[in-house]
Structure 1
Amino acid sequence: MSQPGHLIVIAGPTAVGKTAVAIQVAQHFGTDIISADSRQCYREMSIGTAKPDAGELARVPHYFIDSHSITEALNAADYERLALAYADGILRQHDTAVVCGGTGLYIKALCEGIDEMPESDRAIEQALQAKADERGICWLQEQVQREDPEFYTAAEQQNPARLIRALAFKRTTGQSIMQYRSGRIKERPFRIIKIALELPRELLYERINQRVDQMVDAGLLDEVRGLYPQRQLKNLQTVGYSELFDWLDGHISLEKGIELVKQHSRNYAKRQLTWFRKDKDYQWFAPSDTAGIIRYIKQQLGTG
């Protein structure tokens, strides 16, 4: 009986250096990369998502990069289905597959599964988004606390997207989204090795700020201008784009918009670190320690 393949997860906060490490690991083990980034899959968003460049994509085959349009609605359940298919195809040819990204929920969906649940009414979601934009997060928190106290108690209360999703689900189905969370981990036909990357906070924040400046130099403003007519799409309500849409709308200066992109990117990195640190299966490394990472993977594979 053949041994199951291994999924090697390379996770961590934005700008920590995941892409470079994942490419080196994939090249060492002679395999392909599955992206676990919820934005790099969109063809129209490249500079603002820090997508791997043409040279990097040429070095190792990547899946879930430039695979969809911003007009397509994707969620963690969609990613679970797609990524499992990618992994199956890669592991038929190789002993390992590399997963690289910072979207914790997508990685969780691939490794553990997502509970099946009814769809929310998209019109209700859009109406809630519009009201939240107008009235702010405090209004949204009050609505969720009143209508779904069970979710509110357990939720990340500063995350408007999750609050809107929970409230729309309750108004669509009459039930709390918590009733569909089984907590059961699904069986997978592969074993999983989890690696997370970290840097000292000051250095990570400096890298985030530098990356945003590099994005601007690389043409981010033109990319955002090109997407401006579609700015109401949910997929564009994200860091690096929404702040610059506010600049184009005349609400803030360009200098303020760029500073907000940096600030919100730093905030996002902090949330990512909190998410990954809750999972004790991750082994943490500095992104410069590629030798140590490969040595650890070999130990887990039983070949080191």
Structure 2
Amino acid sequence: MSKKTLIAVIGPTAVGKTALGIAFAKAYKTSIISCDSRQFYKEMTVGTAVPNPDELAEAEHYFIQDRSIDNPLTAGSFEKEVMELLDNLFVKNDVVVMVGGSALYEKAVTEGLNHFPDIPEEIRGEISQKFESKGLEWLQNEVKQKDPEFYENADQENPRRLIRALEIFKTSSRKLSDFQTGNADKRPFKVIKVGLEADREELYDRINKRVDLMFTQGLFKEAEVLKNSSSSIPKSTVGYQEIFPVFDGQYDIDEAIRLIKRNSRRFAKRQMTWYRKDDSVHWFNYKTRHNEIVQRVSQLMGK
């Protein structure tokens, strides 16, 4: 029997990964694992561009709104849960599809996280206390100084990611970027990474239009429901974090829309910076017909 294959569909936000993932799932009569770390949560729908009901009906999906923001899923836990799921899915399928733009979570499954150290409670508490008293700017400066490579490509407005990098450095005296570029764990399946890309201006136009659509779909109301949440996840997610200040009168909704578009473009740039370092990705322009991409990947699998 041929080796089982995981097709990982990656690329920047708004490039069209969802539709391509469905095309693969239908071609191979298989399931889709979401690798978008914000689509895991049932409280966040519009702002995370969760596949719509028609898209979800096209194929069996996993890790789509299957938990609460009060129970966050780390990359390490995602790796463990997905590996267990793949053991079951590969019993009945030769191919499984994974779709998403959360690069660290994708790497966790395709390569492993090189065994991050356990963080002692005293270090975790010390960093948390300093962040609470000194704020995000202190955290950004600490991470930038200790791990500039990670900081350059990280979501610099996301305290959870920055705290994680600082925890690892304080615990091991090693940079998070060292762990991320270590040797890949051996997987019992073949991985084919399929990347979608677009010219910058085209991608930015798609991002801007998506943001406008989100507001017609009710993003503002969704953010209003989440504004008093104790979870840090909405507060560190593009599309929500820019709206919350509107409720405090810091600026108006037009400014929030402008910031969401700007921050989404910056996020897309960081995504591509990360993915471009991976020579194993097979890149396709987002306009390429899906059946052509499926055919090419089938050739890579020897089917």
TM-score, structure 2 as length reference: 0.89
| Residue 58 (structure 2) aligns with | 59
Answer whether contact 1:128 1:168 (CA < 8 A) is retained. Answer: no
| Residue 279 (structure 1) aligns with | 278
- 1:156 aligned partner, one-letter code: Y
Of the structure 1 ranges 274-283 and 125-134, higher mean CA displacement relative to structure 2 is found in: 125-134
Q: Kindly, what percent of the aligned residue pairs are identical?
A: 39
**TM superposition shift of 1:24:** 1.0
**TM superposition shift of 1:123:** 4.0
C-alpha separation between the residues in 1 aligned to 2:269 and 2:177? 29
Answer whether contact 2:114 2:185 (CA < 8 A) is retained. Answer: no
Answer whether contact 2:11 2:271 (CA < 8 A) is retained. Answer: yes
| Residue 11 (structure 2) aligns with | 12
Q: Which runs of 5+ in 1 are unaligned?
A: none
**Distance change (3 Å), C-alpha of 1:120 and 1:228:** farther
Of the structure 1 ranges 261-270 and 117-126, higher mean CA displacement relative to structure 2 is found in: 117-126
Answer whether contact 1:115 1:180 (CA < 8 A) is retained. Answer: no
**TM superposition shift of 1:174:** 6.9
C-alpha separation between the residues in 2 aligned to 1:265 and 1:144? 22
Answer whether contact 1:166 1:176 (CA < 8 A) is retained. Answer: no
Can you list the C-alpha shifts for 1:92-117, whole angstroms capped at 9, x where unaligned? 11110001000111111101101221
- 2:108 aligned partner, one-letter code: A
**Distance change (3 Å), C-alpha of 1:278 and 1:99:** same
Answer whether contact 2:153 2:274 (CA < 8 A) is retained. Answer: no
**Distance change (3 Å), C-alpha of 1:94 and 1:213:** same
**Distance change (3 Å), C-alpha of 1:153 and 1:239:** closer
Answer whether contact 1:10 1:22 (CA < 8 A) is retained. Answer: yes
Q: Which runs of 5+ in 2 are unaligned?
A: none
| Residue 26 (structure 1) aligns with | 25
Of the structure 1 ranges 273-282 and 180-189, higher mean CA displacement relative to structure 2 is found in: 180-189
Answer whether contact 1:157 1:163 (CA < 8 A) is retained. Answer: no
C-alpha separation between the residues in 2 aligned to 1:155 and 1:214? 32
- 1:66 aligned partner, one-letter code: Q
C-alpha separation between the residues in 2 aligned to 1:21 and 1:202? 21
- 2:46 aligned partner, one-letter code: I
In angstroms, what is the RMSD of aligned CA positions? 2.2
| Residue 188 (structure 2) aligns with | 189
Q: Is 1:297–2:292 an aligned residue pair?
A: no
For residue 127 of structure 1, the aligned residue among 113, 129, 147 is 129
**TM superposition shift of 1:179:** 10
For residue 233 of structure 1, the aligned residue among 193, 206, 231 is 231
**Distance change (3 Å), C-alpha of 1:169 and 1:281:** closer
- 2:3 aligned partner, one-letter code: P
**TM superposition shift of 1:55:** 1.1
**TM superposition shift of 1:228:** 1.0
Answer whether contact 2:131 2:139 (CA < 8 A) is retained. Answer: no
Aligned residues: 293
- 1:227 aligned partner, one-letter code: L
C-alpha separation between the residues in 2 aligned to 1:288 and 1:56? 19
TM-score, structure 1 as length reference: 0.89
Q: Is 1:89–2:88 an aligned residue pair?
A: yes
C-alpha separation between the residues in 1 aligned to 2:177 and 2:97? 33
C-alpha separation between the residues in 2 aligned to 1:8 and 1:178? 26
Q: Is 1:50–2:83 an aligned residue pair?
A: no
What secondary structure, in the 3-state scheme, does the structure 1 residue paired with 2:33 have?
strand
**Distance change (3 Å), C-alpha of 1:120 and 1:72:** farther
C-alpha separation between the residues in 2 aligned to 1:113 and 1:156? 21
**Distance change (3 Å), C-alpha of 1:25 and 1:157:** closer
C-alpha separation between the residues in 2 aligned to 1:258 and 1:17? 21
In the TM superposition, structure 1's runs of 4+ consecutive aligned residues that sit over 6 Å from their partners are none
C-alpha separation between the residues in 2 aligned to 1:209 and 1:233? 27
| Residue 209 (structure 2) aligns with | 210
